[in-house]
């Protein structure tokens, strides 16, 4: 299967690392914004074609992974699907409800495989919890999540400058809101949120607090910050009726800090690789993937509700 990866930055390279470990896959094109950086990454990974024109990458490939700035996802996602090619759109699939709904509609019209990059569904840590919930061994009472970064300027996860601005709600909260609904198997019925002051240059809120509830009574408490001068990333605490579990990316510990062996959960311990494997398997098997655009749409609806609470002036995102 021939894959085009769009986005030469930190997350695009995570996908390139993952794709190297998946049999029967060839990355035939790398499309990026900064052409010097794109050429450097293409040479690093032995990719024969690189450039700045997404249509050239689409033409060469069977499927495209979009690890591009969020603001491009709506337009580029449609471009790929209208060309009849399958697409994985990194989280978030868009930064508005309207654009998210439009992408789902285009997928339905074109019939291609279209997936959101909701990697938390695939991390072995969260899979372990999900499997036990599905087996009736656990029931979530509360998810307590901290998503913390120290980001006072436009820098990516690799410490390189970004051409776009990250967002606590439409990117980082999306991971947890989707996971909460996925793990509980329910749609959010109540939500509340507050946000702190906006950064004078970045013009985004640097701190945010979100509380959600599903009909069964399980609740989510989510704290997000770009001001935290400490370990970065998301720390998940599952408080269940039958134990407490702490997840950090692909690792899992019980409430007493004993590490849980996840080696038998899936074929890899890398959530990004497992996400990409699901995308490729869905194409080969001609089925909808876990985290299809339609499946992640309830997350985008919930984010839209939160935005109306914290910033009701942005009616276009309602």
Q: pLDDT band at residue 316, thresholds of 50, 70 and 90?
A: very low
Indicate the domain borders of the chain.
2-118+272-290, 120-268+300-317
pLDDT score at 48: 96
The predicted pLDDT at position 122 comes to 98
The percentage of the chain sitting over the pLDDT mark of 70, rounded to a whole number, equals 94
Check pLDDT > 60 for residue 209: yes
Is residue 218's pLDDT more than 90?
Answer: yes
Q: How far apart are CA 239 and CA 247, in angstroms?
A: 11
Q: What value does the mean pLDDT take over residues 229-254?
A: 96
Q: What is the dihedral of CA 87, 90, 94, 95, to 10 degrees?
A: -170
The residue with greater pLDDT, 163 or 308, is 308
pLDDT (mean) for 263-268: 97
Q: Among residues of the chain, what percentage have pLDDT more than 90?
A: 89
pLDDT in tens, 41-52: 999 999 999 999
* Mean per-residue pLDDT, 197-220: 93
Please report which confidence band the pLDDT of residue 201 belongs to, taking 50, 70 and 90 as the band edges. Answer: confident
Which pLDDT score, from 0 to 100, does residue 165 have?
66
Residue 8: predicted pLDDT: 96
Please tell me the predicted confidence (pLDDT) of residue 188: 98
Q: What is the mean pLDDT of residues 278-303?
A: 98
d(CA 31, CA 56): 9
**Mind listing the pLDDT tens digit for each residue in 65-108?**
999 999 999 999 999 999 999 999 999 999 999 999 999 999 99
How would residue 315 be classed by pLDDT, with cut points 50, 70 and 90? very low
Q: What is the mean pLDDT of residues 219-231?
A: 95
Domain 2-118+272-290 adopts which CATH fold?
Answer: Rossmann fold (3.40.50)
**pLDDT-based confidence at 160, cuts 50/70/90?**
low
pLDDT at residue 317, as a whole number: 41
Average pLDDT over residues 274-288: 98
What CATH code would you report for 120-268+300-317?
3.30.360.10
CB contact at 8 A, 275 and 117? yes
Would you say residue 128 has pLDDT above 80?
yes
The predicted-structure confidence for 51-60, as pLDDT tens digits, reads as follows 999 999 999 9
Q: What is the pLDDT of residues 292-313, one digit of tens each?
A: 999 999 999 999 999 999 987 6
What is the average per-residue pLDDT within 102-129?
A: 98
**For position 154, what pLDDT does the model report?**
65
**Structure tokens given for 31:** 């499309």
Q: Which pLDDT does position 313 carry in this prediction?
A: 67
Q: Do domains 2-118+272-290 and 120-268+300-317 have the same CATH topology?
A: no
User: Which residues, 6+ apart, have CB-to-CB distance to 237 below 8 Å?
Assistant: 143, 144, 145, 244, 245, 246
Mean pLDDT of the chain, nearest integer: 94
């Amino acid at each position: 299967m021939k894959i085009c990866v769009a986005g030469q930055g930190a997350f695009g390279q995570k996908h390139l690392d993952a794709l190297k470990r998946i049999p029967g896959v060839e990355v035939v094109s790398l499309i990026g914004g900064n052409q010097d950086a794109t050429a450097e990454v293409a040479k690093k990974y032995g990719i024969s074609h690189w450039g700045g024109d997404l249509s050239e990458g689409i033409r060469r490939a069977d499927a495209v992974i979009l690890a591009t700035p969020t603001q491009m996802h709506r337009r580029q996602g449609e471009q790929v699907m209208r060309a009849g090619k399958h697409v994985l759109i990194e989280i978030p699939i868009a930064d508005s409800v309207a654009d998210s709904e439009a992408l789902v509609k285009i997928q339905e019209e074109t019939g291609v495989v279209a997936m959101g990059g909701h990697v938390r569904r695939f991390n072995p840590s969260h899979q372990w919890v999900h499997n036990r919930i599905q087996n009736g061994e656990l029931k979530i009472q509360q998810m307590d999540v901290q998503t913390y970064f120290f980001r006072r300027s436009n820098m990516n996860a690799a410490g390189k400058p970004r051409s776009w601005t990250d967002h606590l709600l439409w990117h980082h909260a999306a991971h947890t809101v989707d996971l909460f609904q996925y793990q509980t198997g329910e749609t959010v019925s109540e939500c509340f949120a507050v946000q702190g002051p906006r950064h004078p240059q970045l013009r985004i809120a640097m701190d945010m607090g979100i509380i959600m509830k599903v009909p069964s009574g399980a609740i989510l408490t989510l704290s997000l910050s770009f001001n935290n001068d400490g370990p970065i990333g998301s720390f998940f605490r599952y408080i269940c009726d039958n134990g407490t579990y702490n997840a950090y990316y692909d690792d899992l510990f019980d409430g007493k800090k004993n590490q849980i062996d996840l080696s038998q959960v899936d074929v890899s311990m890398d959530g990004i690789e497992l996400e990409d494997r699901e995308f490729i398997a869905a194409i080969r098997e001609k089925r909808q993937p876990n985290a299809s655009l339609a499946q992640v749409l309830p997350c985008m609806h919930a984010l839209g509700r939160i935005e109306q609470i914290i910033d009701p002036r942005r009616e276009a995102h309602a």
